[in-house]
A and B are shown apart, each in its own frame.
Chain A
């Protein structure tokens, strides 16, 4: 027994040690510990972020050098705080706060202390920085904008936050990453890859040479320059036209799906979100909850399409054999839904496809819509077919574009109406849902969807996914999703009569005053009733002015959608702006300078101020005064 005692103690100790060692070295061990190893410092070499050019090779975004003051808290020694604060132009409170923040992040990893100094500040600090142990200056490059427009397309870059750091281990604190737009979507292409040098340190944090003789070190990989499909000149021009107006303009090249311009109003100068003033400026923009300049209306603003949607109903009716181009309906300055009369501005009389479109007759299209439903044994089958056709134009979906944000819009379905009215053929019908006929009902679209829909009409039956990337590193992209045409469910032959109607909109229809000499355009106006909730009261505001167009008719180079909030009738703002945009793009110069002057100067700020004035206000003023009526803020007025 006593002989065994010592032996068993020896064995038990051995087992205990092996257990503890296997716990430490096998179970607690993680192979990426090199990242936490205090003995290894990583020194980064940042490549330059890729430049962004427009479709014609004009520079949009370049780089400017910038300098961050970094701090490694545990290396900070006694220092003259006041003097350093003076140099860095911060107060003592901020100094303490930043240092505390850095220490919480990590006492031994570098944190940004003061971001993005100007070149002048850097020159001054450079000499003195070495007196402050633990502080050093890290060079980075900042974005430089060779344009004051396109903020919504280009997006911006900013310092990575906690969430980015946990999501993507590539980043370390203080690095920049794309936040929205092209900068976000093509972050990996633009950013390149930083080079890393591993330095072996001792416990006093002194460098004692490269780790593993530098075999793990990597060289930085340059970011690629890219060309985007935006036309710089057109984009800048469009933004000038949108000054003082809210809404969106999207122009697409129908033959490729390339987005020529994408304008959101109001917008902001992209260079506001660069450098030290970025966060202050961003707050100002972000918290402007009335005009919402950071809200990209060109891709995220969902509203009823209004009359341009009539073209889709015409195409569906032709495809389903519900009408022929000569089928006619009579307009009695309106039409009846049950015992209620609904108005129409077209002037009344017999309407066929052609003048139904160019005069934008509501009665005609309600008739067409009912005809479509008559082609099917049941309302739900009709609705399903109608929904399928509408969706084939890219409505009700995100389109699969390479834009960072966006909204899908809505296309109503059998399910929706079943939910609203109940299941069964008697519960709802074409009459119940007649608003869809004139683009006022449950259909909601974004400007880019409208432009894409117009491109599909211009192409006579197909479209390409709208996108903004054109070239990477000077080479044309061939992303299959962007080069393969998406076909609509409408046969090619049905497009001609509809396009003829749209061309006649310019010749003799709702847009006859916005013709461009020498360019054959097909278009469609829209005047969309505009209801908003103000203090949870449904209130009508001045109509939205909508216009879609493509030109030239026979060989379309541009398809455009213009959506101007509270711009009143279609041709009044949207039509004019669209025609100027088309002229600018095709002719590269504007012949109608007086119209241009008027569009540049006029603003709609007075309209946007109305609902916030707290007073009674009139809507749809100036022209067509007989239709304008007084709406009280408090009273819930019914329509027409």
Chain B
């Protein structure tokens, strides 16, 4: 097997999306960290210069990733998983705190974020476990093990605190569903989120009333032959109402004020203009500023390096989590739509690639890659444009940050290597 043959079978369409996203991302990091005094784009003293260095490093790592044997990843996934869990544990002792989160190792020239490594390792380990010939996902014990693989890193990460990354691990449960976990598990989770949100917005009373209405309509319309399982229905209704009541309780008694504020900002619960103004200036400041910056871009945007709010650093963390607001301000709807479409195409392409895999491992890993990228993209842009509450999580290939970029690249190109190798497997 030569390197040349890998390049031939590589899915270049995915590579194209990857390069486009990296390029657009870097241009916007350049804009948001630009200052008139900068001498050259290769000045590694500047943030955009550093990011350029990380991009070049990522390209170099791609060569290594593709050169390795395809079954190396499958074979060493457990080792990788254990190493990353050790690294996560090590944070409690040696971790470096940046912006309130103890998520980094200080390696001198750059800060390593082991949770990024853990994402790749967990995706690999999960794929490996599920594709094992002895695993049967219909068995409760195996379901439990699968979930444990996800839960261990999540639990280690939550106290850092880094709830965003923890969410990413939960998202890997998509893989388990794809592989046969009954779909109604997902339905229950989705239903619970719905009840949670609607309770906050309308209150338990309205949920009870609407359930009653639905039941009445259902009984009026149902065919006579259709027998309703009375007891499970009653239990479901009672559980729903109890859950709804507990939401109120948890929201008012367990949540801290900043959490409440985030939710009330997200769901537009606060109607008092004075309080709203206060929220905008404190906990909602980022979201408000980024929404305003995006809005001020209009359809065509203000142009490269012309974003006044970007220049004035009105949006905090703009080169990292809020990089998308620079796209919005300087490139307008044309720019934001392009980025959203690129992500959509990339993800759909990855779904297609996963489905054509010959081995379970490759397919499940593919789904892991999609889940991780999707959750990052969904939460990040959703937060920046104000449709989701504030959860700090970077935008893949876009946000400033070395370890993030390296591991997203690794995540993607390990899968592309597996894909390039699919025809050789099993012969």
Evaluate contact between B311 and A39: CB separation under 8 angstroms.
yes
List the one stretch of A144-152, A197-205, A565-573, A619-627 in contact with chain B. A197-205
Residues 306-356 of B contacting A (Cβ, < 8 Å): 306, 308-309, 311-314, 328, 332-333, 336-337, 340-341, 343-344, 347-348, 351, 355
Evaluate contact between B351 and A6: CB separation under 8 angstroms.
yes
Evaluate contact between A17 and B385: CB separation under 8 angstroms.
yes
Evaluate contact between A208 and B312: CB separation under 8 angstroms.
yes
List the one stretch of B6-14, B73-81, B246-254, B293-301 in contact with chain A. B293-301
Given contacts A1-B183, A24-B385, A208-B311, 10 further A-B contacts (CB under 8 A): A2-B183, A6-B367, A13-B344, A14-B344, A21-B333, A21-B336, A21-B337, A22-B333, A25-B297, A202-B313
Q: Measured between alpha carbons, how far is A39 from B318 in the docked complex, in Å? A: 15
Evaluate contact between B333 and A25: CB separation under 8 angstroms.
yes
Evaluate contact between A29 and B298: CB separation under 8 angstroms.
yes
Taking CB atoms, residues of chain A closer than 8 Å to B337 are 18, 21
Judged by a CB distance under 8 angstroms, whether A79 is at the interface is no
Evaluate contact between B313 and A6: CB separation under 8 angstroms.
no
Judged by a CB distance under 8 angstroms, whether A438 is at the interface is no
Judged by a CB distance under 8 angstroms, whether B382 is at the interface is yes
Evaluate contact between B174 and A6: CB separation under 8 angstroms.
yes
A-B contact pairs, 9 of them (CB 8 A): A11-B348, A14-B340, A14-B343, A16-B387, A18-B340, A22-B333, A25-B295, A29-B295, A29-B297
Evaluate contact between A37 and B294: CB separation under 8 angstroms.
no
Taking CB atoms, residues of chain A closer than 8 Å to B298 are 25-26, 29, 31
Evaluate contact between B296 and A13: CB separation under 8 angstroms.
no
Taking CB atoms, residues of chain B closer than 8 Å to A202 are 311-314
Taking CB atoms, residues of chain A closer than 8 Å to B347 are 10
Taking CB atoms, residues of chain B closer than 8 Å to A3 are 351, 355
Residues 343-386 of B contacting A (Cβ, < 8 Å): 343-344, 347-348, 351, 355, 367, 370, 374, 377-378, 381-382, 385-386
In whole Å, how far is A103's beta carbon from the nearest beta carbon of chain B? 11
Q: Measured between alpha carbons, how far is A17 from B381 in the docked complex, in Å? A: 8
Taking CB atoms, residues of chain A closer than 8 Å to B306 are 212
Judged by a CB distance under 8 angstroms, whether A20 is at the interface is yes
Evaluate contact between A203 and B312: CB separation under 8 angstroms.
yes
Judged by a CB distance under 8 angstroms, whether B256 is at the interface is no
Given A24-B291, A25-B336, A33-B296, A39 and B386 contact (CB-CB distance below 8 Å) = no
Q: Measured between alpha carbons, how far is A10 from B341 in the docked complex, in Å? A: 10
Taking CB atoms, residues of chain B closer than 8 Å to A283 are none
Interface size class of B (residues with CB under 8 A): 35 or more
Evaluate contact between B299 and A2: CB separation under 8 angstroms.
no
Judged by a CB distance under 8 angstroms, whether B206 is at the interface is no
Evaluate contact between A13 and B378: CB separation under 8 angstroms.
yes
Taking CB atoms, residues of chain B closer than 8 Å to A26 are 298-299, 333
In whole Å, how far is B60's beta carbon from the nearest beta carbon of chain A? 30
Q: Measured between alpha carbons, how far is A211 from B299 in the docked complex, in Å? A: 21
When each residue 81-112 of chain A gets 1 if its CB lies under 8 Å from chain B and 0 otherwise, what string results? 00000000000000000000000000000000
Q: Measured between alpha carbons, how far is A513 from B343 in the docked complex, in Å? A: 101
Judged by a CB distance under 8 angstroms, whether A168 is at the interface is no
Evaluate contact between B340 and A21: CB separation under 8 angstroms.
yes
In whole Å, how far is B190's beta carbon from the nearest beta carbon of chain A? 11
Q: Measured between alpha carbons, how far is A549 from B84 in the docked complex, in Å? A: 108
Judged by a CB distance under 8 angstroms, whether A40 is at the interface is yes
Q: Identify which of A10, A20, A25, A33 contacts B332 (C-beta below 8 A).
A: A25
Judged by a CB distance under 8 angstroms, whether B36 is at the interface is yes
Q: Which residue of B lies closest to A202 (CB)?
A: B312
Taking CB atoms, residues of chain B closer than 8 Å to A212 are 306
Evaluate contact between A25 and B299: CB separation under 8 angstroms.
yes
Q: Which residue of B lies closest to A201 (CB)?
A: B312
Q: Measured between alpha carbons, how far is A25 from B294 in the docked complex, in Å? A: 7
Q: Which residue of B lies closest to A28 (CB)?
A: B295
Nearest 8 A/B pairs, CB to CB: A39-B312, A14-B344, A39-B308, A25-B333, A29-B298, A202-B312, A24-B295, A10-B347
Judged by a CB distance under 8 angstroms, whether A422 is at the interface is no
Judged by a CB distance under 8 angstroms, whether A38 is at the interface is yes
Q: Measured between alpha carbons, how far is A18 from B294 in the docked complex, in Å? A: 13
Given A21-B333, A25-B294, A200-B312, A10 and B177 contact (CB-CB distance below 8 Å) = no
Evaluate contact between A7 and B295: CB separation under 8 angstroms.
no
Given A20-B385, A24-B295, A25-B336, A211 and B328 contact (CB-CB distance below 8 Å) = no
Taking CB atoms, residues of chain B closer than 8 Å to A13 are 344, 374, 377-378
Q: Measured between alpha carbons, how far is A33 from B309 in the docked complex, in Å? A: 12
When each residue 282-308 of chain B gets 1 if its CB lies under 8 Å from chain A and 0 otherwise, what string results? 000000000100111111000000101
Taking CB atoms, residues of chain B closer than 8 Å to A33 are 295-296
Evaluate contact between A20 and B308: CB separation under 8 angstroms.
no
Judged by a CB distance under 8 angstroms, whether A290 is at the interface is no
Evaluate contact between A10 and B313: CB separation under 8 angstroms.
no
In whole Å, how far is B144's beta carbon from the nearest beta carbon of chain A? 21
In whole Å, how far is B34's beta carbon from the nearest beta carbon of chain A? 12
Q: Measured between alpha carbons, how far is A6 from B352 in the docked complex, in Å? A: 11
Q: Measured between alpha carbons, how far is A5 from B173 in the docked complex, in Å? A: 13
Evaluate contact between A24 and B344: CB separation under 8 angstroms.
no
Taking CB atoms, residues of chain B closer than 8 Å to A28 are 295
Evaluate contact between A2 and B178: CB separation under 8 angstroms.
yes
Evaluate contact between A203 and B314: CB separation under 8 angstroms.
yes
Evaluate contact between A10 and B344: CB separation under 8 angstroms.
yes
Residues 320-376 of A contacting B (Cβ, < 8 Å): none
Q: Measured between alpha carbons, how far is A3 from B352 in the docked complex, in Å? A: 9
Taking CB atoms, residues of chain A closer than 8 Å to B183 are 1-2, 5
Evaluate contact between B291 and A10: CB separation under 8 angstroms.
no
Taking CB atoms, residues of chain A closer than 8 Å to B36 are 209
Evaluate contact between A6 and B295: CB separation under 8 angstroms.
no
In whole Å, how far is B33's beta carbon from the nearest beta carbon of chain A? 13
Q: Identify which of B294, B351, B367 contacts A10 (C-beta below 8 A).
A: B351
In whole Å, how far is B14's beta carbon from the nearest beta carbon of chain A? 14
Q: Which residue of B lies closest to A21 (CB)?
A: B336
Taking CB atoms, residues of chain A closer than 8 Å to B312 are 38-39, 200-203, 208
Residues 245-267 of B contacting A (Cβ, < 8 Å): none
Q: Measured between alpha carbons, how far is A28 from B344 in the docked complex, in Å? A: 25
Q: Measured between alpha carbons, how far is A209 from B308 in the docked complex, in Å? A: 11
Judged by a CB distance under 8 angstroms, whether A479 is at the interface is no
Judged by a CB distance under 8 angstroms, whether A9 is at the interface is yes
When each residue 267-288 of chain B gets 1 if its CB lies under 8 Å from chain A and 0 otherwise, what string results? 0000000000000000000000
Q: Which residue of A lies closest to B332 (CB)?
A: A25
| Residue among A2, A21, A22, A202 facing the most chain B CB atoms (10 A cut-off) | A21
Q: Identify which of B294, B296, B333, B341 contacts A14 (C-beta below 8 A).
A: B341
In whole Å, how far is A106's beta carbon from the nearest beta carbon of chain B? 13
Taking CB atoms, residues of chain B closer than 8 Å to A5 are 177, 183
When each residue 194-221 of chain B gets 1 if its CB lies under 8 Å from chain A and 0 otherwise, what string results? 0000000000000000000000000000
Taking CB atoms, residues of chain A closer than 8 Å to B177 are 2, 5
Evaluate contact between B178 and A6: CB separation under 8 angstroms.
yes
Evaluate contact between A11 and B344: CB separation under 8 angstroms.
yes
Q: Which residue of A lies closest to B309 (CB)?
A: A39
In whole Å, how far is B348's beta carbon from the nearest beta carbon of chain A? 6
Q: Identify which of B309, B313, B351, B386 contacts A7 (C-beta below 8 A).
A: B351
Taking CB atoms, residues of chain A closer than 8 Å to B367 are 6
Q: Which residue of B lies closest to A40 (CB)?
A: B308
Q: Measured between alpha carbons, how far is A121 from B318 in the docked complex, in Å? A: 46
In whole Å, how far is B165's beta carbon from the nearest beta carbon of chain A? 20
Q: Which residue of A lies closest to B352 (CB)?
A: A7
Q: Measured between alpha carbons, how far is A21 from B387 in the docked complex, in Å? A: 10
Taking CB atoms, residues of chain A closer than 8 Å to B313 are 202-203
Q: Which residue of B lies closest to A2 (CB)?
A: B178
When each residue 104-137 of chain A gets 1 if its CB lies under 8 Å from chain B and 0 otherwise, what string results? 0000000000000000000000000000000000
Residues 177-236 of A contacting B (Cβ, < 8 Å): 200-203, 208-209, 211-212
Taking CB atoms, residues of chain B closer than 8 Å to A20 are 385-387
Residues 4-57 of A contacting B (Cβ, < 8 Å): 5-7, 9-11, 13-14, 16-18, 20-22, 24-26, 28-29, 31, 33-34, 37-40
Q: Measured between alpha carbons, how far is A9 from B291 in the docked complex, in Å? A: 24
Q: Measured between alpha carbons, how far is A573 from B36 in the docked complex, in Å? A: 78
| Residue among B295, B297, B377 facing the most chain A CB atoms (10 A cut-off) | B295
